Structure formats: C-alpha cells, structure tokens
Amino acid sequence: ETGVTQTPRHLVMGMTNKKSLKCEQHLGHNAMYWYKQSAKKPLELMFVYSLEERVENNSVPSRFSPECPNSSHLFLHLHTLQPEDSALYLCASSQILTGVEQYFGPGTRLTVT
Amino acid sequence: GENVEQHPSTLSVQEGDSAVIKCTYSDSASNYFPWYKQELGKRPQLIIDIRSNVGEKKDQRIAVTLNKTAKHFSLHITETQPEDSAVYFCAADDKVIFGPGTSLSVIP
C-alpha cells in the first residue's frame, strides 16, 4: 500500500455502539489530520497531530476521541454518536505541520442510525 | 482565528471557456495558499499552491494569483474541459482552514 489508507471504507453504527476508524500513512510524514466532510461544512478540521502530539482540537465533541500511537497511524474512536455525525471522515498527512501539501486518504463513509 | 470565504459556491461554464474562483482570508499572517480539487467520490488532491512571496503561479491551464494587501487569491482555469468538473477548495495555512468549496461544472 502506498499513500494514505483508511479502514473501514464504510461503517454503519447505532448510537450506542463504539467503533474506531483507522488511518495509516506510508509517506514518512510527521503530521496527521482528521477532517469531517458533510454537506453543511465541506471540509471541517477536527484534530491535528504533529510528531504524535495533538496540536489542534477544533471544538470537537468528546464522543470523538483521537489517538496517534506513532507517526504512521491515526485512530478516531467513536462512541455514543448522534445521527448528525453521519459524514465522510477524511484522514490526511503532511511532511511537516504547515505550508506544505496534504495527502488525503479515501475516507470512511459513516452512517449513524 | 482564520476565516476563509470562497465564491461562487457553484459555477457552470461551457467547455473551452475560462473559470475563476475567488477566496478571501482574514489572517494576515497566513503565507501559504493551496487549492485542492475533489472529483465526485474521490479524495481531495492538491492542484496548485502559492506562497506569500509570489504574486502569480501558473501550471499549464491553471493559475493562481495572490493579493496579500487585499487578502484574496484566485484560481483561474483556462480552456476548461469536462474533466475539470469537480469541487474546488481553497485554503489558508497556518491553521489549514478550508473555504466552503466551489462546485464547477463544465458543459460539453
């Protein structure tokens, strides 16, 4: 695998479930990002990690919990979600934190029932 | 914090015509301005970017212009083709704030 990969590609979960989204980058980058993409807000930054430390938490509800165990992996742990959380969740990575291209993964299409 | 506005939200052009999308930003400290293209069902990909020490940059049919004084920058696509149909997002770095996107349709 090359570039940025995300699993699963599709996820349907109930409001009481707990699930996790996984992102992996094979580019040797030092920064990783989670975005939410929905019709209301096309590309909404959620979290930013630089060298495995969280540097941005963009007022995201606590039902979303990120984890970055190393510079290649990023997780988004989900629990007690709401139907309005249904969206496409995109992961991205970049070589450094600012001023460079971001490489996006294919996204996870999440549906909360 | 940074706020990025983008206009128009939708744009429809005839094949071969030019398309222009404009973005404004609020943080004068921003110095990197990328443009991403997202085709239907695909991931966003960088198509061109510009830094604050440059006023214009071109890459074949696409160009970006930057006016730091007025805090706006624009994407220009010439000789549009059907494969240019996509959603285009501008952004202002440092904080990686994306504009709301422009849906471009090129009519054959």
**Token representation of residue A113:** 């029932």
Question: Which pLDDT tens digit goes with each residue over A44-58?
Answer: 999 999 888 888 777
Nearest to B93 among A56, A99, A107 (CB): A99
The residues on B that touch A, with CB distances below 8 Å, are 31-32, 34, 42-46, 49, 51, 87, 89, 93-98, 100-101
Nearest-angstrom CA–CA distance, A58 and A46: 5
Nearest alpha-carbon partner for B19 in B10, B30, B29: B10
B105 neighbors B12 (Cβ within 8 angstroms): yes
Q: For residue A43, is pLDDT > 70?
A: yes
Burial B26-45 (b: 16+ CB within 10 A, else e): ebeebbbbbbbbbeeeebbe
Relative to beta strand B86-92, strand B97-98 is: antiparallel
Question: Which pLDDT tens digit goes with each residue over A52-86?
Answer: 888 877 789 999 999 999 999 999 999 999 999 99
Torsion angle, alpha carbons of A62, A63, A68, A72, to 10: -140
**Rounded percentage of chain B residues whose pLDDT exceeds 70:** 97
> How many helices and strands in chain B, by DSSP H and E?
0, 11
Nearest-angstrom CA–CA distance, A71 and A46: 18
pLDDT band at B94 (very low <50, low <70, confident <90, very high): low
- Please give the pLDDT value at position B96: 72
- From B46's Cα to the closest Cα of chain A, the distance in A is 7
Looking at the DSSP bridge assignments, the partners of residue A11 are A110
